[in-house]
Structure 1
Amino acid sequence: MTDHAAMTTEQLGTFARASAGAVRPSRVRTLARVATAVFLLDVGTKVLAVGLLTPGHPMPLLGDAVTCALTRNAGAALSVAAGYTAALTLIVSGIAIAIAWMGRRLTSPWQALGFGLVLGGAGGNLVDRVFRAPGPLRGHVVDFLSVGRLPVFNIADAAVMTGAACLIAVVLFRTE
């Protein structure tokens, strides 16, 4: 009996070591669900913003503190690198591919959440870069949320920043 019990314990240890690097389906699903939700919410709100808002005419949501103000951004966050829209498009595409590839190696649900937020936001802004005027790889991103003195942003921008903060917290606090 004891030989059988020892063998079972040894087999379990081998299985646990072999499984440690395996894909965690629940984490991959979390990443995919979060990315999809952010992507759809971002694209949907941009369609509404373009259809309902007029540039230069902000619409108050919460008094003057939060307004909807339609703008187009050729650059990255804060309109940095406005002359490099094609390069930004390629860089964001590379980041999205890297996150999708890394998704199989996630070690924590917080990583799945963080990477899902970044991937969904990157995808939402990438759609604008590819399909909006002035043309493919040069499209301007639709921004429409204005909070206080912050630059105008969109759901994708908020998701990317939140996802990055989540990933930084994972590293700093070693959250499993």
Structure 2
Amino acid sequence: MPKKTPAGPPSVRALVLLAVLAVSALALDQFTKHLVVSTLPLGEQVKVLGELLILQFVKNPGAAFSLAAGSTWIFSILAAVVTVAIIVLARRIRSIGWAVVFGLLLGGVLGNLTDRLFREPSFGLGHVIDFISTPWMIPAIYNIADICIVSSMGLFILLTIRGINLDGTRTVSGESRDADATAQDATRSQPVPGTGTAEPQIEPHRSDA
């Protein structure tokens, strides 16, 4: 059976971090979109770093990275469900790492949901503002909210692989415990400092019968 290590820091710290990240991500996303809408002509490309970084203002009726165009209302509902789920799970989070995951995810989801709710053509069907293009890396145009969502997914995978739980505990596999036990046995068998001899080992009692 997996074994858990002691819990992490108090949940208040994790909740504060989650909230700060979510608000910061949402604010940065909406601010950059405001700048793009007010300064860039729709569809025009501005090469910032040649082909490495291009700014191009587009209106996306689909999901992240301009996928599934025409299903805006579905993604509006999904974004609302994800938002509620994060709020419900937030009180269980004590891990700083998981607070970062859900903070970035919540900020990113709210950023694109804000566009769908309040931008043209109508409430719930608004088009998301995308403007970042890196054709050398991915053939799509995206925004700050998308970056936050993808970053949270990457950290989610990392925390899951490491066995870190929402409450800050860490699940240790049987193989890891065996390796730790082997290392401890090797340490106990090392010579005692200053004597040049190994620590005495207590042998189990054996019957001569």
Range of TM-score over shorter length: 0.7 to 0.9
- Counterpart for residue 16 of structure 1: none
Runs of 4+ in 1 over 3 A off after TM superposition: none
Per the normalisation by structure 2, the TM-score is 0.71
Distance 1:157 1:147 in 2: 13
- Counterpart for residue 152 of structure 1: 141
Q: Which has the larger radius of gyration?
A: 2
Distance 2:40 2:48 in 1: 13
- Which digits, 9 at most, give the CA deviation of each residue in 1:3-56, with x for residues without a partner? xxxxxxxxxxxxxxxxx6x97100000100000100000000000010111122
- Counterpart for residue 32 of structure 1: 19
Measured after TM superposition, the shift of residue 164 of structure 1 is 1.0
- Is 1:109 the equivalent of 2:96? yes
Matched residue SS, 2:130 = strand
- Counterpart for residue 172 of structure 1: 161
Unaligned runs of 5+ in 1: 1-19
Higher helix share: 1
Measured after TM superposition, the shift of residue 61 of structure 1 is 1.4
- Counterpart for residue 134 of structure 1: 121
- Which digits, 9 at most, give the CA deviation of each residue in 1:110-142, with x for residues without a partner? 100011000000000000000011110000000
Whether the aligned pair in 2 keeps the contact of 1:56 and 1:70 (CA below 8 Å) is yes
- Identical positions, percent: 35
Unaligned runs of 5+ in 2: 1-6, 169-209
Matched residue SS, 2:59 = strand
- Is 1:98 the equivalent of 2:98? no
Distance 1:83 1:143 in 2: 16
Matched residue SS, 2:91 = helix
Whether the aligned pair in 2 keeps the contact of 1:132 and 1:139 (CA below 8 Å) is yes
Question: Which stretch shows the higher mean deviation, 118-127 or 55-64?
Answer: 55-64
Matched residue SS, 1:70 = strand
Q: Number of matched residues?
A: 157
Per the normalisation by structure 1, the TM-score is 0.84
- Counterpart for residue 79 of structure 1: 66
Distance 2:131 2:123 in 1: 21
Is the alpha carbon distance of 1:84 and 1:140 closer, same or farther for their aligned partners in structure 2, counting shifts above 3 Å? Answer: same
Return the match for 1:122 from 109, 124, 130. 109
Measured after TM superposition, the shift of residue 64 of structure 1 is 2.1
Q: Give 1:163's aligned amino acid.
A: S
